[in-house]
Amino acid sequence: MPSLFARLPAFPWDRLEPYKATAAAHDGGIVDLSIGTPVDPVPELIQDALTAAANSPGYPTVWGTPALREAILGWLARRTNAAGLDHPNVLPVVGSKELVAWLPTQLGLGPGDKVACPQPAYPTYEVGARLAGAEPVPYTGSVTDLDPAGLRLVWLNSPGNPSGRVLDVAELRAAVEWARRHGVLLLSDECYLELGWEADPVSVLDPAVCGGSVDGLIAVHSLSKRSNLAGYRAAFLAGDRTVLGELLQIRKHGGMMLPAPVQAAMTVALGDDAHVAVQRERYAARRAALRGALEGRGFRIEHSEASLYLWATRDEPCWETVADLSEEGVLVAPGEFYGTPGDRFVRVAFTATDERVAEAVRRLS
C-alpha cells in the first residue's frame, strides 16, 4: 500500500496564496471571506466555565463527564426531537474534522471498502476514506442511486458545505431507508444544523426521518459554528449505540479525549440557546448584506438556504471570479476545492466582522 501521505490529495489552499497577496495589497486591506472560521467572541458564560475548570490535574475520560453527556442528550432532545436516547448513544470528539478524517480507519475500513461522499463537499470525507486505504465514491444525486456493492459508509451533509443546501425530511428518510436496506452505515454531518436561514434543517435523528430508531445512523455535531468554539475543539456523535460503543473502546485505546476544561465549557454551551440566537442575528445581517451586494454585482446565488456560506456564480470558471474579486481586496474560495460540480462557483463565507463585511459590500457595490 502507498504511504499515508501518498494517499492524500494535494492541499489545494496553497493555490489561493497569490490571490490572497493581491487582496492583501488593496487599500484598506483584505476582506477574507475564503474560510469559515468564527470571528466573534466566545460567549462569556462559556469562557467562565472553561476557566472555572482550569484546575484539572487528572486525566479526563474519553466518553466525557456524565454532565457533558446529559447536556448532549438535552440538546439532542430540544433541537433534533430525538427520542429514547441515553448515554451509550453519545460520544464527544475532539472537533468533528478529526472524526471525519479518522472514522473510516477507526471502524476498520481498508482496501476494497468504499465510502460514498457527496459532491460538492467538505473535502475531509474523501480524505477519511483515503487515510483508511478505502475508495471514496463521489455522488451528486440521491443516495438511493448509489451502487451498494462494497459500500461500507455513506456520508450526508445537511446543511451542506459549500453549497448551503438542506435535505428535506423526505430526502433524508429515503437515504436512511436505503442505507438500512443495504446494511450501510449512514453518517450525517449536521454541524450547521442551527444555522438555517430559508429552511429549518432537520436531523437524521428526528423520528420523522428515522422512525424513532437510530440503528445504523450516526449524526455528527460540532460547537465550532454554533457557539464560536472552533478554537476549543468541541464536537460529538449521536446515534447507533453498538457502533458508538466500539468507537468508545477504540478511542480509549488511542487516548482521543477532550481536555477537561473543554468538557466543562461544552456542557455549559450545550445548555444555553440564548448565545446561539445572538450569533445567528449577526450572521443573518452579514449574510443579507453580502447577498445583496453579490446579486447587485451580477452573481446568482444557488442553494445557500443554510450554513455560513453563499454559493455564488457568474457562470464563469471559478478562478476568474476569484481573480476578479481579489483585485477588489475580497478573497473567496474557488468552488473547485469542493469537487468538480463547483467549477463555476465560489464560496463566500460570512464569518467576517461587521466592519469587514461592510467594507466588502462597499467595494462590491
C-alpha cell of residue 357: 463585511
- Is 86 in a helix, a strand, or coil? coil
Q: Which is nearer to ligand PLP, 234 or 361 (CB)?
A: 234
Name the minimum Å distance from CB 6 to ligand PLP.
24
Q: Is the dihedral of CA 228, 233, 234, 237 positive or negative?
A: positive
188 binds ligand PLP (CB under 6 A): no
Least distance between ligand PLP and beta carbon 216 (Å)? 21
Binds ligand PLP by CB under 6 A, chosen from 75, 122, 197, 232: 122
- Out of 62, 193, 202, 230, the only residue in the binding site for ligand PLP (CB under 6 A) is 230
What's the rounded Cα separation, in Å, for the pair 356 and 338? 25
Can you tell me which residue has the cell 468533528? 96
Residue choice 69, 79, 97, 173 for contact with ligand PLP (CB under 6 A): 97
Q: Which residues pair with 186 in a beta bridge?
A: 154, 217
- 239 part of the interface to ligand PLP, by CB under 6 A: no
Give the count of beta carbons closer than 10 Å to the beta carbon of residue 158.
25
Smallest distance, Å, CB 230 to ligand PLP?
5
Q: Is 342 in the site for ligand PLP (CB under 6 A)?
A: no
* Residue 262 engages ligand PLP in binding (rule: CB under 6 A): no
Contact set for ligand PLP, span 14-73 (CB under 6 A): 36
46, 137, 191, 269: residue in contact with ligand PLP (rule CB under 6 A): 191
Q: Which stretch binds ligand PLP (CB under 6 A): 59-67, 222-230, 243-251, 326-334?
A: 222-230
Q: Are 96 and 237 in contact (CB under 8 A)?
A: no
Q: Which residues fall within 8 angstroms of residue 117, CB to CB, at 6 or more apart? A: 125, 126, 129, 136, 137, 138, 139, 155
Instruction: Please name the residue that has the C-alpha cell 457502533.
Output: 243
Sign of CA dihedral 26, 31, 35, 37: positive
State which H helix or E strand residue 259 sits in.
Answer: none
- Minimum CB distance to ligand PLP, residue 25 (Å): 27
- Positions in the binding site for ligand PLP (CB under 6 A): 36, 95-97, 100, 122, 157, 161, 189, 191, 222, 224, 230, 235
